[in-house]
Structure formats: structure tokens, C-alpha cells
Amino acid sequence: MTTTPFPLTVLGIAGSLRRGSYNRGLIRAAVEVAPAGTTVIPYDLADLPLFNADVEAQGDPSSVAAFKRAVREADALLIATPEYNHCVPGVLKNAIDWASRPARASVLTGKPVAIMGASTGGGGTARAQAHLRDGLSYTNGLVLPLPEVLVPFADSKFDAESSLTDPETREAVRDLLVSFAAWTRRMGAADEAVAS
């Protein structure tokens, strides 16, 4: 007997606020190529203030509360990171820092996460992704190990509207989502087994 897999909602965040961002384009491509049963919902980080523990102590600002709610309600998180100076851009790090609170009981705890990234350089965000993986390990997020989606020389793979036009990269994004959906469902099933 075959059973229909339960539908998944994946929150898609890009670590760039740039209108023509390739990483925002990668998230849009994920929306387009997601396999049946998986819905990717883009989320814009533009409204998040810089993390400040004094502000946090007064209660999360409304934009932070909305972001945390979106992460909590999603089954999983898909991140498209640029690479800035071989590392993760502040915009993305800031969002993760807000979401990681309170430590050990945050919306990232036990959350399945997949990573991809596009850069104009030849490394395709390899170093930024390594930093991101390392940082996310402290949040107790469940980061998908493979496949990696590294998109080097992004200016040759997106059109003037920053839509992903390169067929191989579109296929790689789809492959990532297929693996990620299986991983997320496996983690959810494991959760249910522990809870019962």
C-alpha cells in the first residue's frame, strides 16, 4: 500500500536585501521547482532590526516576533546565502541570531534546514556555507548534509530580472528540495516516534 506523504511548508530566506539579488532569485527558483507536496514560501528579512540584547529583554519587536512565528510554523527552513568576505552576510547572521533565542528552546531547535548559495566569485559560497553550517550547529537545527548547491559565477546563470535560467542549477535546486523533503519527513517521523 502506498501512502501520500504529508505536505510540507518550507520557509525560504535569502541573506541579501538587494533587489536584484541572485540569492533571492535562488529562493524564487526553489518556489518554482519544488516537488509535489512541498511549498516554498519566501520570507523577506528587510524589516529585522540589528540584534540587541537590551531590546530583546524588553520583548521581541513585532518584526522579530513575526519572523520567529514564520519559522516556527514552517516545517523546515531553506536558506540561500551570499558570501561576503568568505563568510555569511550580516543580514543573514542577524536573522539567525534573533531566531536562535532563547538558546536551546528557540524556533530553530530541531528545525530541518537546507543551505544553498550563489556568488559572483568562483567558490559559489563554499566558505560562507561552511561558516553557516558551523553556526547553525549551535542552534540545534537539523542541517541537511548533502547535496550541496554551490552556484559560482552567478552573473552568468541569472537573467536581468535575477531569475535563475541555468538548467543544471535549476535541476540542482530541485534535487536539493527532493532530498530535503525526505529528510524533513524522516525527522518529523522521528519526532512523532519520540513523542509517542
| Chain contacts with ligand FMN (rule: CB under 6 A) | 16, 18, 21-23, 82-86, 119-121, 123, 154
State the minimum distance, in angstroms, from the CB of residue 45 to ligand FMN. 12
Question: Which CB atom, from 22 or from 98, has the smaller least distance to ligand FMN?
Answer: 22
Query: Closest distance between ligand FMN and the C-beta of residue 12, in Å?
Result: 13
Q: For ligand FMN, give the closer residue by CB, 6 or 153.
A: 153
Spatial neighbors of 173 by CB under 8 A, at least 6 apart, are 26, 29, 30, 33, 116, 149, 164
Q: How far is the CB of 68 from ligand FMN (least distance, A)?
A: 23
Our CB check for ligand FMN shows the closer of 111 and 157 to be 157
CB of 86 to ligand FMN, least distance (A): 5
Q: Which is nearer to ligand FMN, 25 or 185 (CB)?
A: 25
SS3 (DSSP) at 19? coil
Residues paired with 76 in a beta bridge: 10
Contact between residue 55 and residue 49 where contact means Cβ atoms under 8 Å apart: yes
CB 89 within 8 A of CB 123: no
Smallest gap, in angstroms, from Cβ of residue 124 to ligand FMN?
7
Cell triple for 98: 534573533
DSSP notation for 50-106:
PP-HHHHHT---HHHHHHHHHHHHSSEEEEE---BTTB--HHHHHHHHHHT-STTSS
Closer CB to ligand FMN, residue 23 or residue 139? 23
Using CB positions, name the residue nearest to ligand FMN: 121
The amino acid at residue 71 is V
